[in-house]
Chains A and B, each alone.
Chain A
Amino acid sequence: MDLDLRAAFEARIARGDLIEAGDAMPDGYRRQCLRLIVTHANSELMGALPEREWIPRAPGLARKLAVLAKVQDEIGHAQMIYRVAEDLAEPYGITRADMLDDLLAGRAKFHNVFSYPAPTWADVGIIAWLVDGAALETQGALLRTSYAPYARILRRICAEEAVHLKHGEDIVLTLAGGTPAQRAMLQDALERWWRPLLHFFGPPGDARNSDAFRWRIRTAGNEELRQGFLRKYVPKIQRLGLRIPDPELRYDEDLGRYAYGDPDWEEFWRVVRGEGPRTAERLALRRASRLEQDWVRVAIGGESAA
């Protein structure tokens, strides 16, 4: 792309115009959008796994139907997002099968939070309430992204994630109002998830000068998103009488923000590198499913992954 075209593109972004799939765009813009969108698609696909484990074990038919529906939604989101990614990747000759190959070989990222175990039913509640709540913070900000095809599907995705959040909130409220054993299970789950939830938005840091912000691919910084999450959920968690496992967590009236203890960013980077507690196991499960279901893909005219 020559300099005139690049200047014209940046002028479009500056006046708030939105970019469509067929529009001319700088290679850097296309690559950054593609990386963000593929990571999101990978996360929806991998995010279905910890909850899928709970479909057979959900307590009662209503909960089983709700978990089934949530898993189906996440897989549906992955399908829609990979489709948007395919259009962006077309000039590079990269297909959806290539994207899945990269994910399963550990070459592409998925969200850290899906590398952690969900050992109890309370984990299912905490995931659906707080992990989906955190995802809504991020995705809500991305509704203002300059890449219009992504923003359009995000509207549908956010509406469905908001339902997941209510489903999780309902599980958590039920357990919080239950027996001492149920409350203890909920407290344990919160303690397991608190650190991954702080990690969810990534390390603080001023990314405002990056291309991702200049091009309005992203519109909110990591710390801004994390603070939005804390403002929304800390009072709710405390109202339920649950103990947040961070003695340094407090609201700073002067700064208008939450202070929190060091959430161990080293662990964050370990999980990013693919060394999370369940990363290898879940990728192996996804690899096995892809091969098991290969005959379906071939039967409906798709590309064999075998």
Chain B
Amino acid sequence: MGVAVFEVFGQEGPGAAMRHAGSLCAATPELAILLAEELFCRRSEYRALWVVPRDAISRAPQEGDVLGPAEPRGYRLGAGYRATVGKWRRFGGEQLVDR
């Protein structure tokens, strides 16, 4: 029986996203959960845990690559539409702009 690396994720409060807590070594998923509770939950930090074998995680980017589009794509972002402020001004509606 060999020991594998597990990555531990925890939920800090109701509705929170699972966040990486750290990693540990264990021989089985059951032992990994036991150790995760000992290592990361001594002060009730989390209400739920995900304990995942590191080998099960697929990674991106591959070496040398970057994630996301290479060119700026303002039309996908709110910040790409700043011109609306000036356009409202034409209608005397600056105060109506949502900030």
Does A302 lie within 8 Å of B24, measured CB to CB? no
B48 within 8 A of A: no
Interface segment out of the listed A57-65, A78-86, A231-239: A78-86
B11 within 8 A of A: no
Other-chain contact of A301, B2, B5, B39 (Cβ < 8 Å): B2
Q: Which residues of chain B come closer than 8 Å to A69, judged between CB atoms?
A: 42
Does A79 lie within 8 Å of B24, measured CB to CB? yes
Interface residues of B in 1-46 (CB under 8 A from A): 1-3, 5, 20-28, 31, 35, 38-40, 42
Q: Which residues of chain A come closer than 8 Å to B22, judged between CB atoms?
A: 80, 83, 152-153, 156
Does B3 lie within 8 Å of A302, measured CB to CB? yes
Does B27 lie within 8 Å of A302, measured CB to CB? yes
Does B25 lie within 8 Å of A300, measured CB to CB? no
Does A96 lie within 8 Å of B25, measured CB to CB? yes
Interface residues of B in 26-70 (CB under 8 A from A): 26-28, 31, 35, 38-40, 42, 59
What's the Cα separation between A76 and B36 when bound, in Å?
10
Query: Chain B: how many interface residues by the 8 Å CB criterion?
Result: 20
What's the Cα separation between A153 and B27 when bound, in Å?
22
A174 within 8 A of B: no
A73 within 8 A of B: yes
What's the Cα separation between A302 and B1 when bound, in Å?
8
**A100 to chain B: closest CB distance in Å?**
13
Residue in B2, B23, B24 whose Cβ sees the most chain A Cβ within 10 Å: B23
Does A301 lie within 8 Å of B42, measured CB to CB? no
Does B27 lie within 8 Å of A73, measured CB to CB? no
What's the Cα separation between A76 and B41 when bound, in Å?
11
Closest 3 CB pairs of A and B: A301-B27, A301-B1, A76-B39
* CB<8 Å pairs between A and B, sample of 25: A22-B59, A69-B42, A72-B42, A73-B42, A76-B38, A76-B42, A80-B39, A83-B5, A83-B22, A83-B25, A86-B5, A86-B25, A96-B25, A152-B20, A152-B22, A153-B22, A156-B40, A300-B26, A301-B1, A301-B3, A301-B26, A301-B27, A301-B31, A302-B25, A302-B27
